Every structure is written in C-alpha cells, then in structure tokens.
Amino acid sequence: MNGTSDFPALLEGFFTDRLMRQLQVSPHTILSYRDTFRLLLHYAQGRLHKAPSDLTMPELDTPLIGAFLDHLEQERENSARSRNVRLAAIHSFFRYVALHAPQYSALAQRVLGMPNKRYTRRPVEFLTRVEVEALLAAPLLDNWTGRRDHAMLLLAVQTGLRAAELIGLRCQDIVLGPGAHVRCLGKGRKVRCTPLRKDTVTVMRRWLKERHGAPDDPVFPNARGTELSHDGLQYVLAKHLATARSHCPSLARKHITPHCLRHTLAMDLLQHGVGRSVLALWLGHESVETTAMYVHADLKLKELVQHPVNSLIK
C-alpha cells in the first residue's frame, strides 16, 4: 500500500471484511457506521480541499478528527451522546487499521486515545399503565393500517424490542401456540426469544392471518409491502401519541420515542420484582450493568409513588 491509496482500501476492508464478514453486524450498525464516515469524509473534503479518494491516513490524525467532532456538536448541533457514537465508529476503524496496517500503529493509538465526552444522562422516560392504555387505544381498528399499528405498538410495549428489532421482524419470527414467543436478531447478531402474553398472542394471531405474508416477509410492512423504516415507526408512534394525548393529558409532558416503549417494559419488569440479570437477558443487554439506569429510575420513582401499578406483562 502507498500513502495515496491505502485509506480507501482500508476503509473498504473495514466494512466488507471486518464488519460484514467477521463481526456480521446488523444492517442498522452498518448504516450508522456508513453515515459516520460520510460525515467525516465530507468534512475532510471541505477542510483539506481534497476528494475523499485522495485522502491519506496521516491526514486523518487527531487534529482533524477532533475538529470534526467539534463540528458535529457546534455546527450540526449533535448531542454529546451522538458525538460519542460517531467517535466509537472511528475508534472501531482505527482498531482495524492497527491490525492490518502496522505502519500506522502510532496514528491508530493516538486516535484510540481520544476520549468520549462526558454528559449528563437524561432521566429514563417511560409510560404509565394509563398512558400505555391510551396509546394502544389510539389506532382505529376499522382499517388495515390501524390494525397493523395496534399490533405493532402492543408487541413493542409487551416485549421491549429495540426499534430495529421490531421493524426487522419476519413472519416466521412470531411463534404462536404453546410457549408462544417472538424471536429476534439483536445486537451482536445474537438471537433471543421473548415470551408473549395471552392477549398479545390473540392480537398477533389475528394480525398475521390478515397479513398473510410469506415466512420471510416483514411482520409490519409499510403501504408498499416492504419493511417499515425507523422514520416510519417514529411517524406511526407520533401519529397515535397525538390522538392519545387528547385522552391522557400527562402524555403531553413527555418526549416519547420508540425507545421509550422499551424503557416502559423494563421499568414494569423491575417494579414487579424481576432481577437485574433476568432483565438483562430479556432486553438483550450484553452486560447486567446496562440495566443500572432502570434501577436508579425505579428508586427515584419509589420516592414519589407509594402504591403499586398494574403489571403490563401479566
């Protein structure tokens, strides 16, 4: 390799060999990493006045990357958390570089030494039982879209699937009958199974019969029959939240995202005695420590609320 051509080759190898072949990361991770490098290359092009294909590894040193991260926060108004996500992708690339291009080991170590930015974690936002009921009652069941949305929101609240896991479900992943469960491909390409409640089984059986899809078809397709996008899921949630807020005013005070439905299930499990290790397995967390934020939120909640809440998972 030479200084004028090794960066494009290393970047291509990182995506095709490391991420896709060796680690077999999810499509969501691929898209996130792709977007990171698109942003970085666009920034480098403007700063160095060079086409991305002409960039060399020595030019991608800590001053440029540090300036890029500042650009994300100051010009693009990214949060510190989003900045750290971009830095994690860059770190992953430079770990690959250190292994496959040892002539850049010193450069890689400098970049890998760039720390994450500290930030104050937002309080865990989740829905109460009354708010969940208002949300699930919002979709109109007299049309296809409403029935799809109701089934999708119910499954999200009852299973705590990540947004990417929910929209990535295929018809063959919903197993009904005795031991009913949903099977999903989570982070790290790990398969996990989550049990389904009786009322969820009833709704999903009815929906899958209407959906009438092939085993590999998406459970919750868009109007064109293809997989719903993350933006599509966000739109569905926002649409029904607008309706639910008219019946449940407390929703107006909350910023609800698809991930908040996952928080809702996690908090409900915790409040009903599920241990942290089981909670980590249910949610597909690699580390039990990841569940700590729910424990802290639960302790704060118990200081304010003294009466029990009806369980979402019974």
- DSSP assignment letter at 281: H
Tokens of 9: 């080759």
1 within some domain: no
Residues 203, 242 within the same domain: yes
Q: Which residues span the domain enclosing 133?
A: 129-304
**Domain endpoint, select from 66, 85, 112:** 112
160 within 8 A of 262, measured Cβ to Cβ = yes
119 within some domain: no
The pLDDT value recorded for residue 210 is: 97
Count of structural domains within the chain = 2
156 within some domain: yes
The pLDDT value recorded for residue 269 is: 82
Residues 143, 269 within the same domain: yes
Residues 237, 206 within the same domain: yes
135 within 8 A of 240, measured Cβ to Cβ = yes
The β-bridge partners of 194 are 182
20 within some domain: yes
- DSSP assignment letter at 104: G
The pLDDT value recorded for residue 188 is: 65
- DSSP assignment letter at 286: S
Q: Which residues contact 40 (CB under 8 A, 6 or more apart)?
A: 65, 68, 86, 90
The β-bridge partners of 192 are 184
The pLDDT value recorded for residue 296 is: 47
174 within some domain: yes
Residues 67, 198 within the same domain: no
Residues 135, 106 within the same domain: no
89 within some domain: yes
Residues 81, 192 within the same domain: no
26 within 8 A of 185, measured Cβ to Cβ = yes
d(CA 276, CA 87): 29
d(CA 135, CA 193): 25
Residues 217, 261 within the same domain: yes
DSSP 15-62: IIIIIIIIS---HHHHHHHHHHHHHHHHHHHHHH---GGG--GGGSSH
253 within some domain: yes
Residues 249, 100 within the same domain: no
Residues 49, 86 within the same domain: yes
117 within some domain: no
**Catalytic residues, which ones?**
162, 187, 259, 262, 285, 294
**Domain endpoint, select from 81, 112, 143:** 112
Residues 250, 102 within the same domain: no
**Domain endpoint, select from 47, 82, 112:** 112
Residues 217, 83 within the same domain: no
Query: What CATH number does residue 190 fall under?
Result: 1.10.443.10
Residues 175, 72 within the same domain: no
Which DSSP helix (H) or strand (E) runs through 238? helix 230-247
d(CA 286, CA 280): 7
* pLDDT tens digit at each of 314 positions of the chain: 444 569 999 999 999 999 999 988 888 789 999 999 999 999 999 999 999 999 999 999 999 999 999 999 999 989 898 999 999 999 999 999 999 999 999 999 999 999 999 877 767 788 999 999 999 999 999 999 999 999 999 999 999 998 989 999 999 999 998 899 999 877 766 788 889 999 999 999 999 999 999 999 999 999 999 999 989 999 999 999 999 999 999 999 898 999 899 888 888 887 777 766 767 777 776 544 455 554 444 444 444 333 444 455 44
87 within 8 A of 116, measured Cβ to Cβ = yes
